[in-house]
């Protein structure tokens, strides 16, 4: 295996390990789900953006979504009145987890392109430098 391939595999592996650590850290910080009284959702449901089920207590009492759904654009007063602070934070953390995963893919694609464009350039530059030294 060429040195170029080994270097790319090692660096790409480090990027992937970093992305996994970020995902695990973000997921560990989530304590509850985005709806009042909802437990933490599984990682795959968060990534796939699966719509959470409306809680039974909200269906039974015919509550307005503003009273239990922290995903809605509510004012700070409405969030405090409905006791949705932790659930609003969980919703934002779920959004951040999805964005971090997408960002990880984008960074890996950019790195892939940059690596495969810059390595040949530097290889040619080094070869030209060696050739000019030999002529002297």
In a 10 Å sphere around its CB, with 0-12 CB exposed, 13-18 middle and 19+ buried, how is residue 111 labelled? Answer: middle
Contact 52, 41 (CB under 8 A): yes
Domain residue limits, the chain: 16-113
Using a cut of 0.85, tell me whether the model's pTM lies above it.
no
Which residues fall within 8 angstroms of residue 32, CB to CB, at 6 or more apart? 38, 39, 40, 86, 87, 90
What is the phi-psi region of residue 39: left when phi exceeds 0, alpha when psi lies from -120 to 50, beta otherwise? beta
- Looking at residue 134, what is its pLDDT? 79
Position 122 scores a pLDDT of 86
Residue 126 has what pLDDT?
A: 86
Report the pLDDT value the prediction gives residue 51, as an integer from 0 to 100.
95
- Residue 43 and residue 73: Cα distance in Å, rounded? 24
pLDDT at residue 116 in the model: 86
* DSSP-derived secondary structure letter, 72: S
Query: 10-residue block means of pLDDT along the chain (136 residues)?
Result: 85 92 95 94 96 91 92 92 94 96 93 88 87 78
């Amino acid at each position: 295996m060429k040195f170029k391939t080994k270097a790319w595999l090692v660096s790409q592996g480090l990027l992937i390990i970093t992305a996994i650590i970020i995902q695990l850290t973000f997921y560990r910080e989530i304590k509850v789900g985005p709806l009042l009284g909802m437990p933490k959702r599984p990682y795959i449901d968060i990534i796939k953006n699966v719509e959470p089920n409306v809680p039974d207590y909200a269906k039974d009492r015919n509550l307005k979504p503003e009273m239990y759904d922290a995903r809605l654009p509510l004012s700070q007063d409405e969030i405090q009145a409905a006791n949705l602070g932790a659930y609003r934070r969980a919703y934002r953390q779920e959004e951040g987890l999805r964005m971090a995963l997408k960002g990880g893919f984008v960074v890996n694609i950019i790195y892939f392109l940059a690596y495969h464009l810059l390595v040949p350039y530097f290889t040619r530059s080094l070869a030209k430098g060696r050739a000019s030294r030999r002529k002297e």
